Amino acid sequence: MVMVDALQFRQRGAASLLISLVLLAVITLVSLNTSRTVLVEQKVAANVYRSNMAFEAAEAGMELALAYIGGGRDRDSDGILPADVSTPDADEFLFDADNDGTNDSNTFTLANGASVTVTLEDLSTSDTVATEIVSTGLSDDNMATRTITQVVALVNPLPNVPENPLLTRGTAIISGSADVYNAEGHSTIWSGGAVDLGSSATINTFIANPADAGYPNCLGDASTPCVTVGSSDSGIAGLDVIEQDSSLANLTEDEFFENFFGMPPTEYRNSMVTMDLDPATDDVSAEVHLSTNPEVIWVDGDVTLSAGTIVGCGIDPPGNDHCTGAQISPVIMIVNGTLTMQGNADFYGMLYVMGGTSGHGNPYSVGSIVVAGEPSNLTGSFEIHYNSDVLRRTSEGGRPASSGGSWRDFN
């Protein structure tokens, strides 16, 4: 009887051992599977982290590119945009990789070790300045890559280009000497009030000559303008001078402004202006002199452009020469007050004056001068040249805006 009980006891112990072994095996398998799952999750988490790092680097590159474009996408006006460093003729870059004050690369390394490469491609048409930005981010270990592509168009700050070298809403008085040229058309001075050329002044206007061999194809073409012929002179206004035009005189100041810029002055100042100056605190002549980037400048008050000031050109030409071609980086300058140009001050682009204007010495202008106030009294020896190409190129100073549907953040 005792032996049976012992046998039963041993049998019950064997069952427990077997169950324990089974449980141990199951626990081992679960542990191994759990470890494998943890490792996979760690790899997934690491991949997500690296991918996010690369994506954030690409986003940083996009922001840097947008900031660059806002200051002028073609800094030296040679028609070359920042492109891949392997491009043989790429002479402009987005980043200063070695901190020597000169941009020398389109690849930039961020503080976390990630890097980004950005290139720009010109997609402009005759009506729109557009740029495709391709920003490629790399994680710090170069294992993850993310690319963001976006097309950015510049909102044109001058949607309605003037067609005259000198246009005034009120009276235009030219009591000094002036030469006014329009080699692209048949009108020079257009005024809502009277135009006084002054019998004692030396006034000459010049228009496209119909006898030019290239006429009429040269009309409206700044690249191959017409040969000019004299039209008006002192005290005698020719057909090129349009005065007492009620369509101008009857416009309010805001309506006159919107005719060129497409929005009211306050809205335009808040949304389009890239340089806002106050003559009471800013040295306006120094701020605008030899600007290498297209700008939309707002001057809030009366201002004098001092002798030797050059606006809309990145270099100071030697002698009595003026800026030409790629040297010109035209600006839009809006003066909310009166403007006086002294000495040999030069201006390239669209000059819009809400008050009156005057000049002393030998001011020189290429583009167009528009005066909303009155009188417009040109007392200096002005030389004004109409140039439609210079006016159209002011679009480079527009604010960048994303083209709808152009954002792509997948490979």
Mean pLDDT confidence for 290-319: 88
Mean pLDDT confidence for 387-410: 86
* pLDDT higher than threshold 70 for residue 89: no
Q: How confident is the model at residue 10 (pLDDT cuts 50, 70, 90)?
A: low
Give the pLDDT confidence score for residue 411 in this predicted structure: 60
58: containing domain? 13-155
Percent of the chain with pLDDT over 90: 44
Q: Which of 102, 121, 155 marks a domain boundary?
A: 155
One domain for residues 226 and 349:
yes
One domain for residues 190 and 251:
yes
Which residue has better confidence, 377 or 274?
274
- Mean pLDDT over the full length of the chain: 86
Give the pLDDT confidence score for residue 102 in this predicted structure: 82
- Our measurement of the distance from residue 366's CA atom to the centroid of its chain's CA atoms, rounded to an integer in Å, reads 20
One domain for residues 136 and 228:
no
pTM of the model: 0.75
Beta strands in 20-128 (DSSP E): 107-109, 115-122
Mean pLDDT confidence for 48-64: 92
Give the pLDDT confidence score for residue 45 in this predicted structure: 77
Q: How confident is the model at residue 294 (pLDDT cuts 50, 70, 90)?
A: confident
Q: What burial letters (b/e) apply to 258-279, b meaning 16+ CB within 10 Å?
A: bbbbbeebeebbeebbbbebeb
Mean pLDDT confidence for 5-9: 55
One domain for residues 143 and 219:
no
Number of domains in the chain: 2
Q: How confident is the model at residue 157 (pLDDT cuts 50, 70, 90)?
A: very high
Q: Give the pairing type, strands 331-335 and 296-299.
A: parallel
* pLDDT higher than threshold 90 for residue 353: yes
Sign of CA dihedral 211, 213, 219, 221: negative
Q: Which of 155, 188, 218 marks a domain boundary?
A: 155
The tens digit of pLDDT for each residue in 166-218 reads 999 988 888 778 899 999 999 999 999 988 887 666 888 999 999 998 899 99
How many CB atoms are located within 10 Å of the residue 76 CB?
A: 14
Q: Quickly tell me which residue has 């300058």 as its tokens.
A: 333
Which residue has better confidence, 283 or 91?
283
One domain for residues 226 and 356:
yes
Mean pLDDT confidence for 273-286: 94
One domain for residues 225 and 142:
no
**Alpha-carbon distances of 58 from 21, 66, 142, 193, 369, rounded to whole Å:** 55, 12, 13, 56, 43
Q: Which long-range contacts (CB under 8 A, 24 or more apart) does 69-73 make?
A: 69/120, 69/131, 69/133, 69/152, 69/154, 69/400, 70/274, 70/399, 70/400, 71/293, 72/292, 72/293, 72/294, 72/329, 72/396, 72/397, 73/120, 73/131, 73/396
* pLDDT higher than threshold 80 for residue 90: no
One domain for residues 70 and 175:
no
Give the pLDDT confidence score for residue 77 in this predicted structure: 66
Which residue has better confidence, 86 or 26?
26
One domain for residues 140 and 231:
no
Give the pLDDT confidence score for residue 26 in this predicted structure: 79
The token pair that represents 156 in the structure block: 């044109």
6-20, 179-193, 326-340, 350-364: which has the minimum mean pLDDT? 6-20
* pLDDT higher than threshold 80 for residue 104: yes
3-state secondary structure of 260: helix
One domain for residues 178 and 216:
yes
One domain for residues 122 and 176:
no
Sign of CA dihedral 371, 376, 380, 381: positive
In a domain, 226, yes or no: yes
The tens digit of pLDDT for each residue in 212-267 reads 988 999 998 888 889 999 998 887 888 999 999 999 999 999 999 999 999 999 99
In a domain, 410, yes or no: no
Give the pLDDT confidence score for residue 35 in this predicted structure: 72
* pLDDT higher than threshold 90 for residue 297: yes
One domain for residues 195 and 61:
no
8-22, 350-364, 396-410: which has the minimum mean pLDDT? 8-22
One domain for residues 119 and 191:
no
Q: How confident is the model at residue 14 (pLDDT cuts 50, 70, 90)?
A: low
Asked if 168 and 193 count as a contact pair (C-beta separation under 8 A), the reply is: yes
Q: What burial letters (b/e) apply to 335-346, b meaning 16+ CB within 10 Å?
A: bbebbbbbbbbb
